[in-house]
Structure 1
Amino acid sequence: MAWTVLVVSGLLEAAWAIALDRSAGFSRPLPTVIFGVALTLSMLGLGYSLRTIPVGTGYAVWVGIGAVGTAVVGMVALGENASLLRILCLLLVVGGVVGLKYAH
């Protein structure tokens, strides 16, 4: 259960990062609310997960999922550069996250 919550929390990290960007410095109400809700739920889920998953592993997985998710949304939906090198680097992060799961 802790791993499922951790993965969802990582996805929520990506959601709050994108909402933060879209909030335009907290001047747009809907993205600002989405940011606050996603941030809160993401942190609660991370905290819950760290009850049973070691902090180094849990935090690295959470950040990795959030970083990759944010970068993918940026490339797919926000027009950011999707170069082959960038995609390969993101795959390395995914490999590291998967490795940490199995090393646990």
Structure 2
Amino acid sequence: MAAKSVGRYIRVAPRKARLVIDLIRGKYVQDALDILQHSPKTIAKTIEALVRSGVANAEHNEGVSDVDALYIKEAYVDQGPTMKRFTPRAMGRATKILKRTSHITIILDEKL
């Protein structure tokens, strides 16, 4: 009975999001939420919302009654599309700026 929540096109580089995702992978939901609330990273708020969404999906769609038994079975970050921008530089040149996006997936399951 796995519940899934996906955040797509999130405006943060996947490399930065993976730092926070690695902290919560395999943890119970309540422990993960505590870690995310005290994390100084900006993406932690978005990941916290995804975990809460996964808990709501587990309760509503999967019929999970004991939320305390839920843990983060899988959590991964994939790269989304990259926006390409240019900024002016010295002597009439331009430099490319890559604005990366992420697709974050969190899968919750019950630990028996």
Q: TM-score, structure 1 length as denominator?
A: 0.35
Hey, which of these two has a bigger chunk of strand by percent? 2
Hey, which of these two has a bigger chunk of helix by percent? 1
